[in-house]
Amino acid sequence: MTHDEVQELIDAYALGALEPGEMPDVEAHIATCPDCTVSLREAQAVAGALPLTAPLVRHSDLLTARVLKEIRSPENGPDQRDDSTRKSSRRWIERLAAMGIAAGLAGVVAWSAVLQVQVSDLRTKSDDLAVEVRDTRRSVPDLAAVKAQAQVAMSLSRATYKVVDDYQQVLNVVAGPDVTHATMKAAPFAPNAIGDVYWDRERQIFVFLFANLPEPGYGKTYQVWLWKEGAASSGGTFSPSPSGLATKIVPSSSAGLHEFNGIQVTVEPEAGSQAPTGPEVIQLPID
């Protein structure tokens, strides 16, 4: 997509009016174009003002009572607010459960459709990158049943089942009791990218969850690097979905995150590289 084409779409992007298929190209260009970044900020300022044009209606006093009662409940006390790891895990569980269940039920075609929906979801959450799916606490335990359905349904392909299985594995890790979690930091190449890394000591694997990743570009892919004593070892390559989501499972015989000096993801040629060569996408420094 050319600069001029993106410029024509920036206002629609700020309003959330782009088609899901248009998003990756537009976001990828904006991420590397200072002019378009400025244009987007201006358009977002206008879009952000639009709620003030809604006719003003006062809510009921009952709502005030409901909200104040809820925030004072033990469930919403300070102890609950500080547990960012648990919330982060739950956020991803909800997202993955929704994605995995949809894939299991409707097959690869529907999986693509779900990813399209995720594009829309993520677009509307620039401030809140977590896509919280309602009632997913109920959905998560149902995943086993969904897997059973997937096995029985003759129309499901093996690939579809693998998708569900992969996500089951990811869910097991992020919901596990003995898991270390850290949040990665976006680099200028993908300023909106988010990433969480989970270390599962029992299974000896790192699980990476990413969102808002732009397309790495034609003939390119993303590669995970684990840095230790000045040397980077590859954690393998991966490509994001059209909606910018990705998971990566990296087996490791290490004792955990603290063994490394840092973790980073870079853009590399499709076949992968022996050492980082492309721009950094997201990283985690470890002291």
Partner 1 sequence: MTSFTGVPDEELLEAFRRSDAGAFEEVFARYSHLVFSTCLRVLEDAQAAEDMTQEVFVRLWRRPELYDPARGRFVSWLLSVTRNRAIDELRSRGRRRSHETSGEMERDVDEPTASDDPLVAAELADQRAVLRAALDELPEEQRSAIELAYFGGLTHLEIAMLQRQPLGTVKTRIRLGMKKLKVALQQNSVTREQL
In the complex, which residues of this chain contact partner 1 (CB under 8 A)? Answer: 8-9, 11-12, 14-19, 41-43, 45-60, 62-64, 66-68, 70-72, 76-78, 80-81, 87, 117, 120-121, 124-128, 134
**Beta-bridge mates of residue 234:** 225
Q: How far is the CB of 110 from partner 1 (least distance, A)?
A: 16
CA 76, 80, 86: angle at the middle one, nearest 5?
A: 130
Residue whose token pair is 């607010």: 81
Question: In this structure, are residues 164 and 100 in contact, taking their beta carbons and an 8 Å threshold?
Answer: yes
> How long, in residues, is the chain?
287
Tokens of 155: 């129309």
Which residues have a Cβ under 8 Å from the Cβ of 80 and sit 6 or more positions away? none
Q: Tell me how far apart the alpha carbons of residues 221 and 272 are, in angstroms, rounded to a whole number.
A: 7
Q: Which is nearer to partner 1, 236 or 242 (CB)?
A: 242
Q: Which is nearer to partner 1, 15 or 109 (CB)?
A: 15
Q: Which is nearer to partner 1, 43 or 110 (CB)?
A: 43
Q: How far is the CB of 192 from partner 1 (least distance, A)?
A: 12
Please report how the helices 143-152 and 84-123 are oriented relative to each other, as an axis angle in degrees rounded to 10. Answer: 50
Q: How far is the CB of 193 from partner 1 (least distance, A)?
A: 16
Q: How far is the CB of 71 from partner 1 (least distance, A)?
A: 5
Q: How far is the CB of 127 from partner 1 (least distance, A)?
A: 6
Q: Tell me how far apart the alpha carbons of residues 158 and 252 are, in angstroms, rounded to a whole number.
A: 27
Q: How far is the CB of 230 from partner 1 (least distance, A)?
A: 33
Q: Which is nearer to partner 1, 183 or 204 (CB)?
A: 183
Phi, psi angles (nearest 5°) of residue 153: -65, 115
Q: Which is nearer to partner 1, 53 or 253 (CB)?
A: 53
CB crowding 145-172: b at 16 or more within 10 Å, else e: ebbeebeeeeebeeebbebbeebbebbe
Q: Which is nearer to partner 1, 52 or 152 (CB)?
A: 52
Q: Which is nearer to partner 1, 48 or 256 (CB)?
A: 48
Please report how the helices 3-15 and 23-32 are oriented relative to each other, as an axis angle in degrees rounded to 10. Answer: 110
